[in-house]
Chains A and B, each alone.
Chain A
Amino acid sequence: MRLVAAVVWLCISFASPGFAQTLEALMAKLPDGNFSQREEVVREIAATGDDRAAKLLEVLSEGSLHQRKSDGAILWVTGSRRDLTGADPLTGENLGPVEPRSTSAIKVNNSLRRTIRAAIGSLRLMHPDPVRRMEAAEAAFNAPDATQLEAIEAALVAEQDSDVAAALTQARAVTILETDAPLSDRVAAISVIGERGGRGALNALAGYRASDEPEIAVAAAEAVAKIERTQAMWAQVQNVWFGLSLGSVLLLAAVGLAITFGVMGVINMAHGELIMLGAYTTFVVQEFIRTSMPELFDWSLLIAAPLAFLVAGGVGVAIERGIVRHLYGRPLETLLATWGVSLVLQQLVRSLFGPSNREVGNPSWMSGAFEVGEMLVTWNRFYIILFAVAVFAGLLLLLRGTALGLQMRAVTQNRAMAAEMGIRTGRVDALTFGLGAGIAGLAGVALSQIDNVSPNLGQSYIIDSFLVVVFGGAGNLWGTFAAAFSLGIANKFLEPFAGAVLGKILILIFIILFIQKRPRGLFPQRGRAVEG
């Protein structure tokens, strides 16, 4: 067995054109048989060590390796249904357009893809790029294969990069567990894997708890228990993080409403649709960027944010001037009228953009995740929290620190007196409503990253937004802030025990009881203005 591995290893190290024939022959065998036979061929392809094997396997795992129906030739096919191009999978040479349905794809499924990933990994253990070597080491860790031990050890000796070396050491440990190495080596391997921690290690060790050899079983059980303890601790931290993240979404959705409903007292049922308009603005901006200047894609959200603010704010001003101002002091009529507006906006968007979801992409800096200890933090949630806090701080600054903010507060606290002082109350009303609406638009930009961009987007946030504002105390921005985050965190701590459905119900019941006790919310407005 080891001899074979050594030979394979030699082949990998000294890949030579002499093996090209075999690679071509093996490639021709790919279309035949079922998935498990194909897996065998993939292993053999990897064993040729040919330079071109890794690329071939990559194309195969993407599912773009086709067989031409007429002569059985293997092609690398790319393009859309009515516009396909073929290329030679080994040389990459362009073979011109391919007739639709003249080829059939060589199928890959998940388990075959796993094999391919491990095979590519084994071909890349000595790759010059440390990132590739890291991937290779991870692939070897996730799919331990006893025959790979020699290759991993050789790579470990040659490795200069300490991170990759650590990953290789762990990969070696997992692989040793698969072999019949001496007991002490394997127990040592378990402790190496245990040190690594995390879910991958848990997965690698869990099976060995039922080992026939008591030493292995005990060592594995101890290591697993230790990892699980760490994970349980981190799970609490993770819950807080999830809560903050949910809270930031609630805050974004609610803070605009805190202006229109909280400060102005307008029950704006179209608030959710203003959020939706923000999300659709993002979509339009991205579409424009995709077609005319794709290099700017990573900036799309930053470009979309001010536009979304203007679009939603503009619609907000129009709603205020057109409808709401005629209904001040008549909350029920306002409620009905704005609800009507919300239906109109929904159907308008549906007619313009169609009823189906629209794809809004994540810029590269918002994709993926990074690790903090044992906790996975996704970039998009991280930036949304930052964004929510920034929007909140900006709003606070605007209300406290600018003339417009002063006028807004003056008008809402005592309209008559503000008018006496020469403030154009009508204009301030429109601007205040527009500000609240514009902030809803900003929320839409953020929500387009984590939710569906569909005409129904707004509906799912309107109720939560009102809950947050009412719970926090209408008219108090800090109340909205505190309410959003405490509801978010409470929800996330309830969810693991009660489930998502019951969790939501419990929160709702809690808020109803709370409002019974303190009708003005967490941080009630005080003073004469409230009574007026």
Chain B
Amino acid sequence: MGNTFRNLCIGTALAGCLATAPAFAQDDTIKVGILHSLSGTMAISETTLKDVMLMLIEDQNAKGGVLGKQLEAVVVDPASDWPRFAELSRELIDGQGVDVVFGCWTSVSRKSVLPVFEELNSILFYPVQYEGQESQRNVFYTGAAPNQQAVPAVDYLMEEEGVERWVLAGTDYVYPRTTNQILEAYLLEKGVAPEDIMINYTPFGHSDWQTIVSDIAAFGSAGKKTAVVSTINGDANVPFYKELGNQGISAEDIPVVAFSVGEEELAGLDTEPLVGHLAAWNYFMSVDTEENDEFITAWQDFIGSEDRVTNDPMEAHYIGFNMWVKAVEAAGTTDTDAVIDAMVGVAVPNLTGGLSSMGPNHHITKPVLIGEIRDDGQFDVVWETPGLILGDEWSDHLPESAELIADWRAPMSCGNYNVETGQCGGATN
């Protein structure tokens, strides 16, 4: 109720309500900001992340908090409205005095808060797989970069399923466009002929997939094994898979590997016709480890339902939160600069049985898992990378970023260092 009240305050009367906020910012708690949409189009994905953060914070408090202080969650609702993400992150940092923020889902929301975090020098943990081509001092990227998801998935299809013809289908915005650009370059490098690649973009929330699915079926009947690499976003997936099922395209004929479809998305879907279609993530709920079992049980107890699933971005927050706790304890303070310095090299257990660590480019090491959809809406892991892979912030497959690296350790402290020219600031963004 307290949170609802605070949301209401922030939502309606920013200035009036928060003018007194700093007075409450006492030293006996550490404030953790949660910046996820609880209404609007992205609520479908982000609400769960808010809940998992509340659970993690509650658990940590039960263990005695951090640095002997209790953690206090400050939840705000940016309502899937990108400029509002920036406004609210300013409120969180300046008005509420939070020490760290966990939040954002879409790339555009992340881009809109970047300048705020830079200006006010705070810390953001970003838990979602994204297109890469970015490394910022104040942001820790706990989701996958393209080399931790898209590229291994293509490798799997090529090697294990003998795929020779590729449909790159995506929603028309920055993540699919950049990912497909990287994938196309990668496929061409691998010797795939340009006429064996079909690229298709659809608008957000596209629901009439008849033409595209029938085009895919036609493209796939050229005597070569064909697969679809899907960067179709959230909601549009349901009608897409339904149409695939209805037109009788099974995963054995033309498998679809998706980067945005996880357990949560499948929960709203009759999965029977989807069995065998693939997804690439760094975590699946079905992974059989001690840590994962504990996490699932804790989550289902917290949320009060055995039907609720866990997914990859939730694991990313789990890793990110534990890394932050460890870094704060190592630094002995929540001071932004000290924590940022302490973060690099921190390693915590992930839920798939490994130890994820924070790289100097503010991306983390993760295993890459390829899963096939089961009829119960879960995934069977059919393949995984032998070890953990560090997120590659600047893709090596695109000419404009091949020479760039990021290293936030002193003395380099640069997010876009050009190894060719030896200059920091080689990128255009």
Known contacts A142-B253, A350-B39, A495-B211; 14 further A-B pairs (Cβ under 8 A) = A35-B382, A80-B376, A101-B293, A110-B251, A110-B255, A111-B160, A113-B252, A117-B252, A202-B223, A369-B248, A379-B246, A380-B246, A450-B239, A455-B43
Contacts of A81 in B (CB 8 A): 296, 306
A130 CB-CB contact with B under 8 Å? no
Contacts of A452 in B (CB 8 A): 207, 235, 238-239, 268
Contact indicator B222/A113 (Cβ below 8 Å): no
**19 interchain pairs, CB-CB under 8 A:** A35-B382, A63-B374, A82-B306, A108-B382, A110-B255, A110-B372, A199-B217, A202-B221, A202-B222, A206-B224, A355-B39, A357-B235, A357-B238, A359-B269, A359-B270, A367-B245, A367-B246, A369-B247, A500-B212
B201 CB-CB contact with A under 8 Å? yes
A179 CB-CB contact with B under 8 Å? no
- Taken together as a complex, chains A and B put the C-alpha atoms of A110 and B235 apart, in Å, by 25
Contacts of A500 in B (CB 8 A): 200-203, 206, 211-212
- Taken together as a complex, chains A and B put the C-alpha atoms of A408 and B269 apart, in Å, by 41
Contacts of A454 in B (CB 8 A): 44, 235, 268
Given contacts A107-B380, A107-B381, contact A451 B210 (CB under 8 A): no
Of B203, B288, B293, which contacts A501 at CB under 8 A? Answer: B203
**Which B205-259 residues sit within 8 Å CB-CB of chain A?**
205-208, 210-212, 214-215, 217-218, 220-224, 235, 238-239, 242-243, 245-248, 251-253, 255
Of A110, A355, A356, A459, which contacts B161 at CB under 8 A? Answer: A110
0/1 string, A369-391, CB within 8 A of B gives 1: 10000001011110000000000
- Taken together as a complex, chains A and B put the C-alpha atoms of A63 and B382 apart, in Å, by 11
Contact indicator B246/A378 (Cβ below 8 Å): yes
**Which B133-180 residues sit within 8 Å CB-CB of chain A?**
160-162, 172
B215: nearest chain-A partner, CB-CB = A496
B20 CB-CB contact with A under 8 Å? no
Contact indicator B207/A501 (Cβ below 8 Å): no
- Taken together as a complex, chains A and B put the C-alpha atoms of A358 and B307 apart, in Å, by 13
B372: nearest chain-A partner, CB-CB = A109
Given contacts A203-B223, A492-B211, A501-B201, contact A358 B248 (CB under 8 A): no
Contacts of B202 in A (CB 8 A): 500-501
B223: nearest chain-A partner, CB-CB = A206
Contact indicator A207/B223 (Cβ below 8 Å): yes
Contact indicator A205/B223 (Cβ below 8 Å): yes
Contacts of B160 in A (CB 8 A): 35, 109, 111
Chain B contact patch, size range: 35 or more
A242 CB-CB contact with B under 8 Å? yes
Q: How far is the CB of B169 from chain A (nearest CB, A)?
A: 10
Contacts of A63 in B (CB 8 A): 374, 380
Contacts of B47 in A (CB 8 A): 354-356
Residues of B within 8 A of A (CB): 38-41, 43-44, 47-48, 160-162, 172, 200-203, 205-208, 210-212, 214-215, 217-218, 220-224, 235, 238-239, 242-243, 245-248, 251-253, 255, 264-265, 267-270, 276, 278, 288, 293, 296, 306, 372, 374-376, 380-383
Contacts of A456 in B (CB 8 A): 40-41, 44, 205, 235
Of A62, A113, A359, which contacts B267 at CB under 8 A? Answer: A359
Contact indicator A246/B208 (Cβ below 8 Å): yes
0/1 string, A199-242, CB within 8 A of B gives 1: 11011111111000000000000000000000100010011001
A114 CB-CB contact with B under 8 Å? yes
B270: nearest chain-A partner, CB-CB = A361
Residues of A within 8 A of B (CB): 35, 62-63, 80-82, 100-101, 104-105, 107-111, 113-114, 117, 142, 199-200, 202-209, 231, 235, 238-239, 242, 245-246, 249, 346-347, 350, 354-359, 361-362, 367-369, 376, 378-381, 450-456, 459-460, 492, 495-496, 499-501, 504
Ordered nearest first, which 8 A-B pairs have the shortest CB separation?
A357-B268, A206-B223, A199-B221, A355-B43, A207-B223, A378-B246, A109-B382, A202-B221
Contact indicator B288/A104 (Cβ below 8 Å): yes
Contact indicator B238/A368 (Cβ below 8 Å): no
Q: Give the residue among B40, B206, B208, B269 with the most A Cβ atoms within 10 A.
A: B208
- Taken together as a complex, chains A and B put the C-alpha atoms of A450 and B270 apart, in Å, by 12
Q: How far is the CB of A105 from chain B (nearest CB, A)?
A: 7
Contact indicator B238/A451 (Cβ below 8 Å): yes
Contact indicator A203/B221 (Cβ below 8 Å): yes
Contact indicator B201/A114 (Cβ below 8 Å): no
- Taken together as a complex, chains A and B put the C-alpha atoms of A108 and B269 apart, in Å, by 22
Contacts of B200 in A (CB 8 A): 499-500
- Taken together as a complex, chains A and B put the C-alpha atoms of A376 and B381 apart, in Å, by 33
Q: How far is the CB of B314 from chain A (nearest CB, A)?
A: 13
Q: How far is the CB of B301 from chain A (nearest CB, A)?
A: 12
Q: How far is the CB of A488 from chain B (nearest CB, A)?
A: 9
B242: nearest chain-A partner, CB-CB = A450
- Taken together as a complex, chains A and B put the C-alpha atoms of A361 and B246 apart, in Å, by 13
Given contacts A203-B222, A231-B218, contact A499 B41 (CB under 8 A): no
Q: How far is the CB of A141 from chain B (nearest CB, A)?
A: 12
Q: Give the residue among B211, B267, B374 with the most A Cβ atoms within 10 A.
A: B211
Contact indicator B201/A111 (Cβ below 8 Å): no
Of A117, A238, A347, A356, which contacts B44 at CB under 8 A? Answer: A356
Contacts of B43 in A (CB 8 A): 350, 355, 455
Given contacts A246-B208, A357-B269, contact A238 B380 (CB under 8 A): no
- Taken together as a complex, chains A and B put the C-alpha atoms of A242 and B105 apart, in Å, by 34
B243: nearest chain-A partner, CB-CB = A378
Contact indicator A496/B161 (Cβ below 8 Å): no
- Taken together as a complex, chains A and B put the C-alpha atoms of A142 and B221 apart, in Å, by 12
Q: Give the residue among A113, A354, A456 with the most B Cβ atoms within 10 A.
A: A456
- Taken together as a complex, chains A and B put the C-alpha atoms of A208 and B214 apart, in Å, by 24
Q: How far is the CB of A230 from chain B (nearest CB, A)?
A: 12
Q: Give the residue among A81, A82, A209, A238 with the most B Cβ atoms within 10 A.
A: A81
